[in-house]
Amino acid sequence: MIPATTDDERKEAFRLYNEGQHQESLALCNRLLETARDPAVEILAATNLFSLGKLEDAEVYFRDLARRMPESSHIHSYLAKVLERGGNESAIAEYAAAVRLDPDNQDALRSYAASLIARKDERGALPVLKRLYLIGKRPDDLRRLTAALTRTGCAEEACALYQSPGTGKPKSREYAEALSAAGRYREAADEARVLYDETHNALDLRLYLAARARADAASAPGTYASFLRETPDPCIFLDYVHLLQERGEYLRALATVKKLIALDNLPQYRLIACELSAALGDHANALTGYENLIRDELDAPCPSEDFRHILRSYRRYITAQLPQEEAIQRFLACVPGDTNVVCLEETAEMYRERGKAGEARSWYYRAYRADYVNGGLSYAEFLASEGDDRECEKVLLYILANVRKLSDLSRVAAAVTKNHETLLRLRRLTGELIRRLEERRDMLGSDERECLAIAYRSAATAALSREDYAACMENCLCGIDVLPPYSRECMARDFLTLINRTKEQMPTDCPVIKASGPQKPAAARRSVQALIEVMALSLPEQEILAFLATHKRASETDLRRLLGTRRVAGIVNLLIRKAKAQGIMLLEKKGMSAEGEVYEYCGT
């Protein structure tokens, strides 16, 4: 029998992968890599690891490949998929790198757009989706682009896009939603009705009924009632209840919401029933309904997402119906002053609305102690409204110093920039917000980037007021650089106006952007002992690091002899992850040999 050639084995490895036999394909890849390095086979091996769900190994493999082939869009795209599957926030930066390297890589573009949309960053996704549709003209890309335009407030542009020559004008829910958002309700209703007749999908029916209600308000209740007899969908029921509320038909709305509660006893339905009872003047049932609902929420293992809205609605109801002191006592009797941050914040708001600032401050502080992010932001907002800038800045600086999740950092940035005229005049706070956002710049979505631009604008304005012209110019240029597409609160013209004012006031020209001089020599490599201390390495990891730092290269068999254990691969992978967490490129995998995997030291 003639032995298979290397080319035949490579083809076989790819065939196995395409047929979904990833373990077999990986084994063949490893065998091929024992004799020679082949980038195509290395990429296939890493892809097999990803397909098998071995995310840690796949990540190490793709990072090694990205370091050796930094210009490969395909590698960055797959590394992003690995990171995204593992819940790593840096995946978005790798998708961006893949698209930057090859703007026509449709797989990378599609994955990047999907990732942005999953983060609810339609503004950031729009340029990507436009590029995708320009390249491929696919109907599914047209639908995604239409939906993103509608959700970013560009409904007219979405309609014009769908009606442009060459699209084929396919029927779609996204086009009907765009028509409705643009105020073209009759067209939206017609489009959605045709869709519903074809699909019998409740979502299409819901869209049709909502558009029909706007186009023909008089017949809307009858139309809803007619369809609900055939399709008792809870979401359509809820739309019908809201329609009746808008029309002031509270009795019919209450009867309808009771049917909803019979279908599913959800807190949001029960809250609507309480509010309708109150609107009808049935205060006994309203009060009982509210307090029973709050007790059930507090007894649940985890209160629902509607809990804050429930407490706020109850608070507003009793303060409107009862004398001030009685309302406070009733609220305190129903809502415990424990560590539930929502309860603490709503109690504080109760006192604040009654003009009792001292009691409100005490309750807000308790909320801050219970949850330094959620409660802290409420406490800081209260302090800002009371003019206590010093304590407000102190609280926000503490939150910024301790938040780790990007989602929490985003909430802090949004809270600060929402009150930018009040809070961003605090120079230390502005500087710290800029620093923390810049640390994660590659991972920021459009909302966070606009917050960063607003912070730069405030810093530039403050610098101009103290005649620090260089700082003003630098902040303006940084703000323009980070500004996202389709910005809402901050515009490029804001920075250009500041630049013009600065140019007019500067007594002499002081360029901010200077020609780059000779490159500084690379920093000296850190010592092994320094690396051990920085990464808090275990004894086996220290031994591996010291051995590789001395010998520069070692096989898996060498390290097994060193440690006296076969569990070398796992220890090395953990060492690589620890180094990566510190931003250090420490070891590199160099493929397979007859003595197992080969590792090379590249500590920096």
3-class secondary structure per residue, 352-404:
HHCCCHHHHHHHHHHHHHHCCCHHHHHHHHHHHHCCCHHHHHHHHHHHHHHCC
Same domain, 142 and 41: yes
Kindly state whether residues 59 and 110 are assigned to the same domain.
Answer: yes
Q: Which of 130, 105, 80, 95 is nearest to 485 (CA)?
A: 130
Lowest pLDDT segment from 9-13, 15-19, 531-535: 531-535
Instruction: Please tell me whether residues 548 and 499 are part of one structural domain.
Output: no
Answer whether residue 393 is part of any domain: no
* pLDDT of 3 over the 60 cut: no
Whether 520 shows a pLDDT value over 60: the answer reads no
Q: CA-CA distance, 85 to 531, in Å (whole number)?
A: 29
Strand locations in 493-568, DSSP E?
A: 553-555
Within a domain: residue 86? yes
Residue 202 lies in a domain: no
What phi and psi, each to the nearest 5 degrees, are found at residue 593?
-135, -175
DSSP state letters, 5-25 = PHHHHHHHHHHHHHTT-HHHH
Q: Name the strand (E) or helix (H) holding 58.
A: helix 55-68
| 351 located within any domain | no
Rounded distance between C-alpha atoms, residue 14 and residue 40, angstroms: 10
Q: What pLDDT digit, counting tens, does each position of 381-435 carry?
A: 999 999 898 999 999 999 999 998 999 999 999 999 887 677 777 889 999 999 9
Pair (160, 71) in one structural domain = yes
- pTM (2 decimals)? 0.77
Based on the domain organization, do 139 and 75 belong to the same domain?
yes
CATH code for position 565: 1.10.10
Three-state DSSP string of 196-264: HHHHCCHHHHHHHHHHHHHHCCCCHHHHHHHHHHHCCCHHHHHHHHHHHHHCCCHHHHHHHHHHHHHHC
Per-residue pLDDT averaged across 561-570, rounded?
79
Residues 88 and 47 in one domain: yes
Q: What is the mean pLDDT of the chain?
A: 87
Lowest mean pLDDT among 282-291, 473-482, 491-500, 535-544: 535-544
Could you tell me which residues come within 8 angstroms of residue 130 by beta carbon, excluding any fewer than 6 positions away? 145
Is 303 within the bounds of a domain?
no
298 CB-near residues (< 8 Å, 6+ apart): 336, 340
pLDDT more than 90, % of the chain? 55
The last residue of a domain, from among 471, 506, 541: 506
Q: What is the per-residue pLDDT for 236?
A: 92
How many CB atoms neighbour CB 522 within 10 A?
7
CATH of the domain at 66: 1.25.40.10
- Whether 596 shows a pLDDT value over 90: the answer reads no
Containing structural domain, residue 490: 403-506
Asked whether residue 574 falls in the same domain as residue 463, the answer is no
In a domain, 422, yes or no: yes
Other CB atoms within 10 A of residue 280 CB: 14
Would you say 297 and 312 are in contact if contact means Cβ atoms under 8 Å apart? Answer: no
H or E element in which residue 84 lies: helix 73-85
Q: Name the token pair of 479.
A: 């703000």
pLDDT of residue 99: 93
- Under 8 Å CB-to-CB from 124, ≥6 apart: which residues? 116, 445, 446, 484, 485
556 or 245, higher pLDDT = 245
595 in a structural domain:
yes
Q: Say whether both 55 and 161 belong to one domain.
A: yes
Are residue 450 and residue 560 in the same domain, yes or no? Answer: no
Banded model confidence at residue 525, pLDDT cuts 50, 70, 90:
very low
Q: Give the gyration radius of the chain's Cα atoms.
A: 30
The domain tally of the chain equals 3
In the prediction, which pLDDT does 32 show? Answer: 85
Tell me, yes or no, whether 409 and 481 share the same domain.
yes
Identify which of 51-60, 182-191, 223-232, 542-551 has the greatest average pLDDT. Answer: 182-191
Same domain, 501 and 554: no
Mean pLDDT of 173-179: 94
In a domain, 379, yes or no: no
Distance between CA atoms of 412 and 288, rounded to whole angstroms?
37
Beta-carbon count within 10 A of 544 CB: 24
Residues 470 and 586 in one domain: no
Residue 503, pLDDT above cutoff 80: yes
- Whether residue 307 is predicted with pLDDT greater than 90 in this model: the reply is yes
SS3 assignment, position 584: coil
> Given a cut of 60, is residue 571 above it in pLDDT?
yes
